[in-house]
Amino acid sequence: MANLQDVTKVKTGKVRFSYVHVFEPTSINDDKDKKYSVSLIIPKSDKVTLKLIKAAIEAAKEQGKTSKFKGKIPANLKVPLRDGDVDRPEDEAYEDAYFVNATAVTKPGVIGRNGQPLTPEEFYSGCYGKASITFYPYNANGNIGIAAGLNNLLKTEDGEPLGGRIAADLDFEDDIDADAEDDGLLD
């Protein structure tokens, strides 16, 4: 039988990355500890990844039963796998998908298909890839649940950037003259 620690770690299939904060830690409120984070958008059609995540969450619940939950799994336990159609109905990127918000205190590895580290320009909200995440129980300040720890990320392909921002060259494609000298001044 597999060790519970092994079962709580998941390498996803193809996901879309959103709310990417993997190069600099950030905090929603300035009074909280800063963390690295990303939202993993998982198509509902990816039954393999969803099965692995659900099994990892169940294993983390079992871990928490003795370590965090005083011998039994609470009925109102918060879990990190959420339904995009229910929790983010206004956001097209989350349509027909589940999502997991994963965080880390230490910087995750962020690489491309060639195994080389990526820059923020190369890894952004909207690109696609795979994630390594670990599920674990928590019981802090009255909040009880299972969380997703962010290990590493692999970008496999580009995607339409999320958040309404487009590349500068696309914004000004009608104004760009490839043969012009760059004098820093506008015509």
pLDDT in tens, 68-80: 988 898 888 999 9
Q: Is residue 12 part of a domain?
A: yes
pLDDT in tens, 1-53: 455 558 899 999 999 999 999 999 998 776 678 999 999 999 999 999 999 99
The two counts, helices (H) then strands (E), for the chain are 4, 8
Q: Which 8-state DSSP code applies to residue 145?
A: E
Q: Which 8-state DSSP code applies to residue 184?
A: S
Tell me which residue range forms the domain holding 126. Answer: 4-163
Whole-model pTM above 0.75? yes
Q: Is residue 175 part of a domain?
A: no
pLDDT in tens, 144-173: 999 999 999 999 999 999 876 565 665 677
Q: Is residue 127 part of a domain?
A: yes
Q: Is residue 111 part of a domain?
A: yes
Q: Is residue 179 part of a domain?
A: no
In terms of C-beta distances under 8 Å and separation of at least 24 residues, what long-range contacts does 75-81 make, across chains too? Answer: 76/144, 77/144, 77/145, 77/146, 78/143, 78/144, 78/145, 78/146, 79/145, 79/146, 80/135, 80/145, 80/146, 80/147, 80/148, 81/50, 81/53, 81/54, 81/57
| Lowest-confidence pick of 82-86, 99-103, 114-118, 178-182 | 178-182
pLDDT for 143: 87
Number of domains in the chain: 1
Kindly report the CATH number assigned to the domain that includes residue 138: 2.40.50.140
Q: Is residue 180 part of a domain?
A: no
Q: Is residue 86 part of a domain?
A: yes
Q: Is residue 73 part of a domain?
A: yes
pLDDT for 1: 42
